[in-house]
Structure 1
Amino acid sequence: MEGKFLPTSSCFIPPISEEMILVIKEAFRSPASQVLVDVSRQAVTRADLETLLGLNWLNDAIINVYLNLIVNRSKEAQKLPKVYAFNTFFLTRYIEMGYSAVRRWTRRDDIFAHDILLVPVHLGMHWCMAIVDLRVKQIKYMDSMGGRNDACLATLLEYLSQEMSDKKNSQLDAGQWLLTNIQNLPQQQNGSDCGMFALKYADFAAKDAEINFTQNDMPYFRRRMMFEILRSSILPSGYGEK
């Protein structure tokens, strides 16, 4: 099976090989509740993996495990930014219950020792992604339906200020930070792929790559993501590789 080149890029898209297809098919022979893989204490069952089929909506387990794979990739590749990912429940918990409810979530991690923070944003029926770039003091909001979310950006800046005060005994200068609703992003053309777009935004941002995929690439990315999760590792080549 041959791969192809993106028309506007020199990047090569690796094919879905027969071996990858066999691995995926074997996984779907398992009972729905069977745990197929555990990545950084995030278990994925066959039922979870099924959310990557067709036009299904991705669930929390898939979002969380793929973000963990992005983090693990950053630890293994010296040239990539150092990445930290928050759980899908983090932002909702913080908004609803305040800093005290999430204070211990980072007790083993210094988020300020990282380059990039990935924050999944769930708007009830829609996934988006927030990217905190600590290197340039910028928080970016990425929505595959073109939405703005100034409240989310302000909330994340508030969290960073509280986290720095609590963990570093230091004050964050909010005036130095840029809050941006990113425009001209690849947009979804259906009502199902918001989770895929959010994860691919995170994937590309975490390797400082140009976001150059389209809606047409989502069926490919869904199958590739199944294999990557089953193998607990993101494939090294594809769009955006430098």
Structure 2
Amino acid sequence: MEGVSGYHKPSAGCENSSFSHSPKAMAPGNYRYPEVKTPLPRQVHAPSPVRRFGLSSCTRQIRRNRSPRPRQDSGNALGDFISRNHNSLKRDALDSPVCYRTDREVIDVDDELSDVELISDDTSTEADFVQNVDMDVGDEAEKENELSLEDDDLEYGSVMVHDESEAYSSLVLNRSRPVTDVSGFEAYRKALKSAETRTSKLKDRGFAGFLKERCLALLRSLRSLWLQDEELIEYVQREPFLPLSKEDEKAVKHAFSANNIQNILVTHENSNIDITGETLRCLKPGQWLNDEVINLYLVLLKEREAREPKKFLKCHFFNTFFFTKLVNSGTGYNYGAVRRWTSMKKLGYHLIDCDKIFIPIHMNIHWTLAVINIKDRKFQYLDSFKGREPRILDTLARYFVDEVRDKSEVEVDVSQWRQEFVQDLPEQRNGFDCGMFMLKYLDFYSRGLDLCFTQEQMPYFRVRTAKEILQLKAE
């Protein structure tokens, strides 16, 4: 072939390199080897070792710890790069310890749910992981940036992502976490099967019977408490109507006899009130009540409250002379006339601390009752004939303001307090029981009870009031 013009024998060592002859130096019809062209950029997927309970030390950690190698100029740069990185990744990944996040609480689940996988298959997981290590070989500058990793991109030896929920759904593969995604049919079926198994186990252990017994025991205890409350309420409502013993009736009958008219039957030392046979006879049927009997009974009601403060409301009982003294027929309203009646030294408390204040009102031949109801913020007037006296309530409102200002040094605004003329009350059907109606209004209101008595019970109340006065104890 020596005679052929234009043919040059290649020199040794040039098999893998292109000719440098220019087209002008070559004879027509003879061609040189083609030049090596840069291949199109494409992504290379490196193998990804995946652990069941977490990732390995992760590709970024591997790349951070690997010392950079000098770049070699080679015609087969792509093949060298793939081979070098594949072997390095495989070796370092297999030798590195398993890393997984431990800053989450591990929740134990039933055995039935433990086999439910948090990933669909290895292929999808591997594909998700490979997306984090994609390299663009088309551009060497971008390739070097991909291989370099900042320290702040790592935390606890695992790959960090900006979205924490995304990290735990795709990267942190922890089988101990409960199943939260039941969108798939298989996961839903297993969760339903687990629920049915639990229900059957509870039935086998007699849980339904146990729960029923507990509920019945609770209902019995509540019923017993309810019955106790009912019995207590019934007793409290029945207490004002307790029947009198034969001894009590005999003692009252003896006190009403003519032989005791001039005799002093009882004396209340604290109030200095003496009750004679003639005074007590006002409690006989058809008689009008006098001041001595009414005032002594009011004192006994206050002593009853002191004996059992939790059973009765905190009240103050003015005597029958208070309102007459407060409203003098000659001078009109006069607070100074009754100012000393309610001193702390005398009473031991201020009127503003009471729930109710009772004021007997004597209208010539008729007894009524006025109430300063501090508890309900209203002024009440009770008349067994259902009469109305607005001036009495206006006077008591003025007195209460002056009393609180004088004793407690407090300004009370009673402009919003209601004036109530009680209509739903027992009515008097004769001309002599107004005093007994007034005493029973006091008695029931101080107990916190409704006025649940009638005219037919007045004879009983007369005998009972006489018995309580003789014993100097209101019940």
TM-score (norm 1): 0.88
Q: Secondary structure at the match of 1:120?
A: strand
Shift of 1:160: 0.4
* Equivalent residue, structure 1, for 2:403: 163
Counterpart mapping for 1:222-237 below 5 A: 222-235=462-475
* Cα offset, 1:104, TM superposition: 0.9
Of 358, 366, 378, the residue aligned with 1:118 is 358
**How far apart are residue 203 of structure 1 and its match?**
0.4
Deviations 1:68-111 (A, max 9, x none): 11111111112311111001010011011511111111122322
Match of 1:35 among 254, 264, 267: 264
Distance 1:101 1:93 in 2: 6
Please state whether the residue corresponding to 1:206 is helix, strand or coil: helix
Cα pair 1:131 1:202 within 8 Å, conserved: no
Q: Secondary structure at the match of 2:387?
A: coil
CA contact (8 A) 1:116 1:132 kept: yes
User: Deviations for 1:28-50, whole angstroms, at most 9, x for unmatched residues?
Assistant: 35542432223341322211110
Shift of 1:199: 0.5
Does residue 219 of the first structure (1) align with residue 459 of the second (2)?
Answer: yes
Q: Which has the higher contact order (CA 8 A, sep 6+)?
A: 1
Distance 2:299 2:398 in 1: 24
Residue 325 of structure 2 corresponds to which residue in structure 1?
Answer: 93
More helix per residue: 1 or 2? Answer: 2
Distance 2:353 2:263 in 1: 36
Partners of 1:114 and 1:87 in 2: CA distance: 16
C-alpha distance in 2 between matches for 1:80 and 1:54: 29
Counterpart for residue 301 of structure 2: 70
Instruction: Map 1:72-221 to 2 at 5 A.
Output: 72-77=303-308, 78-96=310-328, 97=331, 98-107=334-343, 108-109=346-347, 110-221=350-461
SS at match of 2:376: coil
Shift of 1:16: 2.5
Structure 1 residue 14: deviation in Å? 2.0
Distance in 2 separating the partners of 1:214 and 1:100: 39
- SS of 1:160's partner is helix
- What is the letter of the counterpart of residue 61 of structure 1? E
Tell me, what secondary structure is at the counterpart of 1:22? helix
**Residues 2-17 of structure 1 correspond to what in structure 2 (within 5 A)?**
11-12=237-238, 13-17=241-245
Deviations 1:148-170 (A, max 9, x none): 11111111111101111211222
Offset, 1:54? 1.4
1:190 maps to amino acid: N
Gaps of at least 5 residues in structure 2 are: 1-233
1:57 equivalent in alignment to 2:288 = yes
Q: Percent identity?
A: 37
Which deviates the most, 206-215 or 103-112? 103-112
> Per-residue CA shift, 1:1-29, capped at 9, x if unaligned?
xxxxxxxx884432222110222133335
Q: Report the Cα distance in structure 1 between the residues aligned to 2:327 and 2:447, rounded to whole angstroms.
A: 29
Separation in 1 of the partners of 2:316 and 2:266?
A: 21
AA matched with 2:461 = F
Give the Cα–Cα distance (whole angstroms) in 2 for the partners of residues 35 and 160 of structure 1. Answer: 37
Which has the larger displacement, 129-138 or 28-37? 28-37
> Which stretch has the larger CA shift, 28-37 or 44-53?
28-37
Q: 2:318 & 2:263 partners in 1: Cα distance? A: 25
**Cα offset, 1:222, TM superposition:** 0.4
Indicate conservation of the 8 Å contact 2:360/2:369, yes or no. Answer: yes
Q: Number of paired residues?
A: 227
What is the TM-score of this pair, normalised by structure 2?
Answer: 0.46
1:175 to partner: Cα distance: 1.7
Residue 57 of structure 1 deviates from its aligned partner by: 0.3
Q: Which moved more, 1:61-70 or 1:12-21?
A: 12-21
| Counterpart in the other structure of 2:246 | 18
Which piece of structure 1 moves more, 112-121 or 153-162?
112-121
**Would you say the 8 A contact 1:204–1:211 is kept in 2?**
yes
SS in 1 for 2:447: coil
Which has more strand, going by share of residues? 1
In structure 1, the residue matched to 2:276 is: 45
2:351, 2:404 within 8 Å by CA — same for their partners in 1? Answer: no
The answer to whether the 8 A contact 2:300-2:474 is kept is: yes
Question: Which one has a bigger Cα radius of gyration?
Answer: 2
